[in-house]
Amino acid sequence: MTQVRLNKKIADAGITSRRKAEQLILDGKVKLNGKVVKELATFVGNKDKVEVNGIQIENEEPVYILYHKPTGEISSVEDDKDRKTVVDNFNNLGLRIYPVGRLDYDTSGILLLTNDGDFTNYMTHPRYEVTKTYRVRVDGHLTEKQLAELATGVLLEDGKTAPAEVEVIRDAENKDMIIQLSIHEGRNRQVRRMIEYFGNEVKKLKRIGFDFLTIEGVPTGEYRFLTPHEVKKLIGHSKQVSK
């Protein structure tokens, strides 16, 4: 009988990442065959009964979805203000999935959803440096000096940002500037704060790329499943960077 570590069993069920599963175990939130277990090196088999926060987990086939998120949706499983979440769009599939990272309420574009905790960790942990590309419409204009500073990093309240790729898409008189910004960090509201650093505001923000993935062919509010090749390529890219 094949056995796996308890934290992997929890992550494979789509509940959380392996790292966070370890914390759940240490916090006494996990039961194995009816008994609380706090030993991280515990191994389990297919016939073992595992409960997390009193709910028995089931093995599920991994699912990977690319969703073209519109503005006006919360990137979470549920919302305490009863606003629409991205997961609400998939209730008819009967799958327990959750967003990989987040896009702000007022931001649209590529959002991945899955039930694979390890995949989520690869896509979101800073050490893996997965590149995300945004199309940004700026209220006003940035100078060449400011664009250069944006590319090398700006000092925010939570530290200096990592170098970014910056491309000017439109810089016309009497029109908002449009730039394309590629970053591999995932700080809260990072792109908006990077622009606000110069005293400008973001009027429209859309994530158009996630590593090699684009939203081409996926209309706003629609989705598609990632192919096994795409999943392997995403994980392969992140592992290469972390070496």
Tokens representing 223?
Answer: 């989705």
Contacting residues for 62 by C-beta, under 8 A, at least 6 apart: 12, 14, 114, 115, 116, 119
Catalytic one of 104, 106, 158, 176: 104
Please say whether the beta carbons of 13 and 58 come within 8 A: yes
DSSP state, residue 86: G
Only one residue has tokens 């939203």, namely: 215
* DSSP 8-state code for residue 221: T
d(C-alpha 232, C-alpha 243), whole Å: 17
Give the integer Cα–Cα distance in Å for 216 and 222: 11
* Strands across the sheet containing 30-32: 35-36, 30-32, 50-52, 55-56
Catalytic status, residue 104: yes
Catalytic residues: 104
